[in-house]
Amino acid sequence: MEEGDLSESLLPLNELAEEEKLSCRLWAESKKLWIVAGPAIFMRFSTMGVLVTTQAIVGHVGPTELAGYALAFTVFDRFAVSILLGMASALETLCGQAYGAKQHHMLGIYLQRSWLILFGCVILLLPIFLYATPLLRLLGQEESISKAAGTFSLWFIPIIFSHIFNFTFQMYLQSQSRNMVVTYFAVISVALHLFLSWLLVFKLSMGVAGAMSSMILAMWIPVFGQFAFVIGGGCPETWKGFSWSAFTDLWIVVKLSLSSGAMICLELWYNTVLVLLTGYMKDAETAIDALSICLNISGWEIMISVGFLAAAGVRVANELGAGNAKAAKFSIIVVVATSLSIGVVLLAVFLGLKGSIGYIFTDSREVADAVGDLSTLLAFTILLNSVQPVLSGVAVGAGWQSLVAYVNIASYYLIGVPLGIVLGYLIDYQVKGIWIGMIVGTLIQTVVLTLITWRMDWNKQVEMAQERVNRWFLPETEKSNLG
């Protein structure tokens, strides 16, 4: 056989070897991805399950109570959650890159610093919950709905304090791929909430008080469990005890927390604007009820994407911290493709269920019909949500939070909201018009983030990550502990 013929005969073997190598890389990366994403998705499903179960129970108490819960949850609770989750996501950048750089001792110190910063943030947010009713009146909401929302906002105060620890523990544990413990406590939390809700609301007829008391307990159970796991020796490499170092160099964490908070807040407040704009329409109670149901259904789906957001952030941060630019890019491709595939499947499912899904949350035929009317927009929102949060996770892992904040301002608030107002009020498309405008804003933001990610110099990102390692992480002499 001639040399040329031999080379040609070896080509299929070379191609097969390359395919096997690629499949092995895909399998290895997918395992790393799901180790983080699986527990993160389940935990967020459980948290959302507690919130939506409470909404379903409150919805059967009465339509005014449902509208009040929707406003308190969507406007006040989500407002606070967006700030706390955004600021806590700075811990994902810090812990992820520290773990990749093998500076394990710093994870526990950054966890404690985040507790201090988020606790101060919650104290500043308390007046919003205490004066929710007059704030809603000032915004022009109906009197009965404002009063109901004010009552619910007081119940949300202990829940907000639980988020300080839930969010930070999640970032800390998932950065080292040890977040399976979060899943176990989430199972306990949901199971107990379902039992207590049934007992307190339907058997003891405690109504709203029973539903909210059960939700508070369900939110605090994972906090106590995660405390016991971490402090009790579950993370020996990264938790060295309470440290005085947590009170030093706080400004480094504050700056990153503020930029992270701005990025996440601008995204999550987008839906809040949608609810507030709906409150000024004709038959506002029905419109808010229908919209809140749609947003909560969307919220269930986005929990999957937020799980992949967490995985993208951890994988990108770990690889950049370790100096692996190619591995970081490969991780991004795998996580986006996986999340998008799930989004396409869910798009088809929700298009098929649009006529009946509203009855899960309400007995009102009027509200259920309004939900069905919005279901097509809901389905396409779900598709977009399968990609957009994942790209935000890439930004968190790489430390681009400030850049993404500017993108969010332009796409959401300079394009999406004004377009929604024009379509909803001037052209009289009502809720549909507002939602179409919001979808356009999300689409633009997704396209821009895709282009930024695609064109980014990842070798330069590795260099920047190494600079952060040298600048952020404390020397060994500062590892002294309180105990």
pLDDT of residue 19: 57
Contacts of 242 (CB under 8 A, 6+ apart): 112, 481, 482, 483
Question: Is the sign of the CA dihedral 187, 188, 193, 194 positive or negative?
Answer: positive
Does the pLDDT value for residue 17 go beyond 70? no
pLDDT on residue 310: 82
Residues facing residue 195 across a β-bridge: none
Q: What is the pTM of this model?
A: 0.74
DSSP structural state of residue 429: -
Between residues 18 and 423, the one the model is more confident about: 423
- The candidate with the shortest Cα–Cα distance to 221, out of 269, 170, 187, is 187
CB neighbour burial string for 180-200, b if at least 16 within 10 angstroms, e if fewer:
ebbbebbeebbeebeebbeeb
Burial class (CB in 10 A: 0-12, 13-18, 19+), 174: buried
- At 329, which amino acid appears? K
**Is the separation of the CB atoms in 65 and 363 below 8 Å?**
no
CB 380 within 8 A of CB 347: yes
> Residue 352 has what pLDDT?
75
The answer for residues whose C-beta is within 8 angstroms of residue 203's C-beta and 6 or more apart is none
Q: For 371-413, what is each residue's pLDDT tens digit?
A: 777 777 888 888 888 888 888 888 887 778 788 888 888 988 8
In terms of residues, how long is the chain? 483
* Element containing residue 451 per DSSP (H, E): helix 430-455
Where are the alpha helices (H) located in 244-364, listed in sequence order? Answer: 250-278, 284-322, 325-353
| pLDDT one-digit tens code per residue, 237-261 | 888 888 877 777 777 777 777 777 7
243: helix, coil or strand? strand
The residue type of 250 is L
Report pLDDT for 444.
92
Distances (CA, A) of 78 to 59, 185, 255, 434: 19, 23, 22, 19
pLDDT in tens, 49-70: 787 778 777 777 777 777 778 7
What percentage of the chain's residues is helix, strand, coil (to nearest 5)? 85, 0, 15
46: how many CB neighbours lie within 10 A of its CB?
23
Total Cβ atoms within 10 A of residue 209:
13
Tell me how far apart the alpha carbons of residues 122 and 167 are, in angstroms, rounded to a whole number. 13
- The answer to whether the CB of 385 falls within 8 A of the CB of 343 is yes
